Structure 1
Amino acid sequence: MSNSINDRISRLRSRRLGLDRSSAIALDAKDFIVNRSLNQERWEGRAKDKPYTTFALGAMQEVDPTYTRISLETAERVSNQLARRMSGSMEFELQGSVPLNVHIRGVSDVDLLALDADFYTYDRRGAISLSGQYNSPSTRTSVGVLTARRAEISRVLREAFPVATVDTSGSKAIKLYGGSLARPVDVVPSHWHDTIEYQASRQKYDRVVTILDSHKNTTVDNWPFLHIKRVRERCESTGGGLRKSIRLCKNLKAELEAEGQSVPISSFDIASVMYHANMINLSVGSVYELAILAETQRHLDYLVGNKEVARQLMVPDGSRNIFNEEEKLTGLLRLSIGMDSLLREVAKEQNYLLRLSETPMLDASREAVIKSAIF
């Protein structure tokens, strides 16, 4: 695909409006998207004749709340069908980019946890366990319970949504899309695990979600609500700057991949990387929005130049190192190089003197955009 900035803007617009995934949704949802695409979004007119600035600003913005509402309603529709048709009791929760509001697509996959409410595990060292309030440990295993639930969920989804595609090829999520659905939904069979921390606090964010890896016939523990809580709190301290930085990185990654590059770092890890950026610098973005670009570039560049520091960084929930696989550092490098290039081009649009240099210094480029007032 073309690497021109106008093509990047076009693809960004397509992602945000859902035009890139119209084949995976219901016909009436397609009509909504087509009608919506006839109007410009506000970011498209904020920096006239400055296409790199336009792209950077657009890449930071949240998806139209109407699109997000439809995603949430679609997940609720799926959960209602599962609750009504499945045996035993189920609980449903959302995880991932949509509830955290860092998704970058109008038609975004929604991660729906389908939790078996009749089965849970717990740490025997916790306060509830020690006080004898739990039932005796079950003789059933997590793998056995979740394998059975996965099979039942797959069957029920095919019955409830006969025209939709139910894709069970993935190891963790069952993908549901098409038919009458306005959004794709990833259903994740899972159950609760009550940690020592949860037994003391009774707060959902301290509770582990145990999910099945069907390919390896084992389970994986996640802390999705602790991740959401910590990223959300840090974002609020920046006036929304952290979320904008995460979206900027995710959109740039999407562009680099559209242009043929491999950027092996996940959305979860991108959010985790920017969680460790300078929050004061990101806060400047509430007044000078392009300061978010400057801090994002600075932070990525710093980590590339200080790999040992990068290797020590933990994901927000504290469960592992971000760069627990070497290829993620390759993804970081490619994202950083792409952000360097974007910063330089935006700086040239903001500062006449920098246009005289093909590759202006990064420090000078950051300085040029940090206090660029664009309304």
Structure 2
Amino acid sequence: MSNGVNDRISRLRSRRSGLDRAAVVTQDAKDFIVNRSRNQEAWESRARDMPYTTFALGAMQEVDPTYTQISLETAERVCNQLEKRLSPSVQFELQGSVPLNVHIRGVSDVDLLVLDTSFFIYDTNGIKSRAGHYTPAAPGRTSVSVLSALRSDVDRALRAAFPAATVDSKSPKAVKIYGASLARPVDVVPSHWYDTAAYQSSGQKHDRAITILDAQKMTTIDNWPFLHIKKITDRCDATYGGLRKSIRLCKNIKAELEAEGTKINLSSFDLASIMYHANTTNLTAGRVYELAILAETQRFLDHLWMNKDEARRLRVPDGSRAIFDAENKFDGLGAVSKAMDDLLRAVAQEQHYPLRLQSKPGLQESRNAVMYSVIQ
């Protein structure tokens, strides 16, 4: 690990405690973070005198639920203020890593969807559409026009509700608000519903898509955030939490590489999507042998790096696109995979004495060494 494992453990603590983002929260929240950061978390004492193992274990764990609850409460507070100031036709939902519980920061941005329910689009091939259940939108009302107006209304409402906070409209897809009395940053995403053919048949929320605006290009993008959450959650439950731990491990490795100056052309969504396709049996072994999750994460990343045609065929969990839809994403895969190789070898040397005598043990040998290591 290029910048020293102790530096990485320090940054991991900082991310998890929120110290890394203390500048964007209230003074009360900052005081809470500083005081809370003095408490040692359980993972820090599970592998004494084994810093690589300590880092690997810590990188897998969920953020303190108290921090997550504060994030959710802050989003609810913003939601309540917007509800008072926007049209009665708006509806609110959460998307992203916080409701999915794969966030890695104590101070995480929360994605709050604001849906204008007075307008929606639908798949004309769906069963309800063919049966005549839908009425076309009024002339002149388009996704772009409706979402542009909603974005302007959201911007004004946020500034009126939180005059001392910073409202940042530079992002083309969200209006960010942070600071003043807000304990967490919130990304407010103007959107509307898209009734897919699957939703028209099932009536299930996870089959319903949303449409968001790219305000820079003045075009729209269709997303399936609830299907993504359901797919990841179902597979994580089947692995007794192993998938979420693998995703967090990948995201923390990415954060470390970026802190050390390496650009990673993979989003958090991409990393979650990659590990969704990993071997579930190996991830399930993490229920008893937690380091088996590291072994499988390393194995699968290395496998995709060595088999790029197979990687190109993988799709995100909601099926909407290929994961590797741009060739430069393989640069990110290579960097994360190599860093995971290095971490696996270092952990294996800590866990298996004979490997300490080797300067660079083999990857299969290293996986075998950690697969059944028991960490109390």
2:47 is matched with which residue?
Answer: 47
> How many equivalent residue pairs?
375
Q: Which residues of 2 match residues 319-338 of structure 1 at below 5 A?
A: 319-338=320-339
Write out aligned runs for 1:264-279 (5 A). 264-279=265-280
TM-score normalised by structure 1 residue count: 0.98
Matched residue, 1:185: 186
Contact in 2 for aligned 1:91/1:115 (Cα 8 Å): yes
Equivalence map 1:120-131=2 (5 Å): 120-131=120-131
Which deviations, in whole Å up to 9, do the C-alpha atoms of 1:185-231 show, x marking residues without a partner?
00000000111111111111111100000000010000000010001
- Post-superposition shift, 1:2? 7.5
Aligned residue for 1:98? Answer: 98
Residues 14-93 of structure 1: pairs in structure 2 closer than 5 A: 14-93=14-93
Tell me what 1:298 maps to. 299
Secondary structure at the counterpart of residue 43 of structure 2: helix
Cα deviation 1:253-281 (Å, max 9, x = unaligned)? 10011111111100000000000000000
Cα-to-partner distance string for 1:3-23 (whole Å, 9 max, x where unaligned): 110110000000000000000
- Show the 5 A alignment for 1:1-375: 3-139=3-139, 140-375=141-376
Native 8 Å contact 1:25 1:184 kept in 2: yes
State how far apart, in whole Å, the 2-side matches of 1:322 and 1:70 are: 32
- 2: distance between equivalents of 1:109 and 1:370? 34
Deviation at 1:131, TM superposition (A): 2.9
Q: 1:2 to 1:181 in 2, by over 3 A?
A: farther
CA contact (8 A) 1:88 1:118 kept: no
- Once structures 1 and 2 are overlaid, which stretch shifts more, 79-88 or 174-183? 79-88
RMSD: 1.1
What secondary structure does 1:83 align onto? helix
CA distance in 2, matches of 1:151, 1:102: 31
Gaps of 5+ in 2: none
Alignment-mate amino acid for residue 10 of structure 2: S
Residues 19-67 of structure 1, C-alpha deviation per residue, up to 9 Å, x if partnerless? 0000001111111111111110000000000000000000000000010
SS of equivalent to 1:346: helix
Give every structure 1 segment of 4 or more consecutive aligned residues whose post-TM-superposition deviation is greater than 4 Å. Answer: none
From the superposition, tell whether residues 166 and 2 of structure 1 become closer, same or farther in structure 2 (CA, over 3 Å).
farther
Q: Helix, strand or coil: the match of 1:353?
A: helix
Give the distance between the partners of 2:325 and 2:46, measured in 1 at CA.
40
Q: Is the 8 A contact 1:83 1:89 kept in 2?
A: no
Whole-angstrom CA distance in 1 between matches of 2:124 and 2:326: 32
SS in 1 for 2:247: helix
AA at the equivalent of 2:93: E
- SS of 2:250's equivalent in the other structure is helix
Q: TM-score, normalised by structure 2?
A: 0.98
Q: Report deviation, 1:125.
A: 2.5
* Other structure's SS at 2:258 match: helix
State the AA in 2 paired with 1:229: K
Counterpart CA distance in 2 for 1:335 and 1:81 is 40
Q: What secondary structure does 1:10 align onto?
A: helix
